[in-house]
Structure 1
């Protein structure tokens, strides 16, 4: 079982070291830090490096340098996801043991082909709130015998949550308490909109969704402050928290920093990083003003 620490206001900033932090990260980190200090609570830094193929020590060092330059301080030790894989696997095995997770064998190419074929026949394919096509039902509908045969054959697979079974086991509506820059109050959760989400892949021992709820519970996080791009994903997190018997934090989804073209900033698209603003002579206070603080 996961040990739940004492309840005290605890906030966290949890970047992935797979690129340089940009202004959007600065906004989130500063908000978490400043609200935590104003509340007499703790500010934690978590390194979400579960994807070892994309995360590097250089990017992690850059995170520490950027946050220190901004004048932020955090509790030690820093939690790295790569050090806690057994905790995520324990949570996954608990769900597998209850029949709420199934092995998914379809490749990305096979899924893409099924979606394209369905849409070519005039059947709109359901999509999640991010616009990604939902996973086909093929693997969910396999018999236990067929699943075991494929597992014994060594086929690569992911583990997906059987959303219908998971919701049925909860047996009641879910919600979360929100105080952010969009909707506020008690927000109804709609995990079904995401379909059978991935909890583990052959190339990553835990998904973001599974890792984040385990980490937040283990670290005693009481307030989750993050961008509005993760607002709808909270439905999945509330479902997993309830299934695993984990505490529910308070949520605050803040506005996003947008580029000149109106899209949210992105590491993968090479948007200007905090380190580059620093090299251009911006001071920490000027950067705060640039993100609207």
Structure 2
């Protein structure tokens, strides 16, 4: 196997067509077919269903696809590292974050750009459940998670401490309460995120422990939409505190303390445990550490021990 074969194989798998793959690679269709046939001969496996004309992968093909992606990502990473070496302090840093954790990154990215103006930054919006995989696939160097990753191949640093905030609009009957019990929330309509998370399960379990019904009458696809909907007077919400700082300061939303729902969220920077990080990634970690030292809580920089 060689990288050209892997590139050809991936092109056919992604395009689901030998002819479209040939056009993408600027090769003839017979050349692409011959390359796939040679690869199958070397592996002793059929990679594409012969009865299908749309490039459907066999089970062996599906397995190879993941490894082929890793190999090509590693090639691109190596090429980028050598380019970076030639250009000294220029380079590129790829990070993965979701809608919530991206907010944590903003002040750090600002500081990083001040110190390293020649390094290009790319933050890829990714589902939290996929971030560790993207890191291990070499698609990104660093990711930000709001939970401890299970994969032992991933190293994590706790970099920010946040907590869930119960918020209502200023006209809500609970807005002036300051603090209420979880048992007072049984009749409230919660506006929830439509993507399950570990924190959501903690909330559900807390309501069960206190024998209080949890009514999630509306589910929306983003935290921004949830905040706007609550501002309009449609129910209440539990959201990460980091995401509602502006609204609380402006008075658009009001936070009410729920003693039984003090759920901490620790944000973690994650990267491959055995990785030789690029100059750009190492520079970013230095910025994170220095920022935490200068600003203190809720920012921090400590190895994750599963706490």
Q: Shorter-chain TM-score: what band?
A: under 0.3
Higher helix share: 2
TM, length-normalised to structure 2: 0.23
Higher relative contact order at CA 8 Å, sep ≥6: structure 1 or structure 2?
1
Higher alpha-carbon Rg: 2
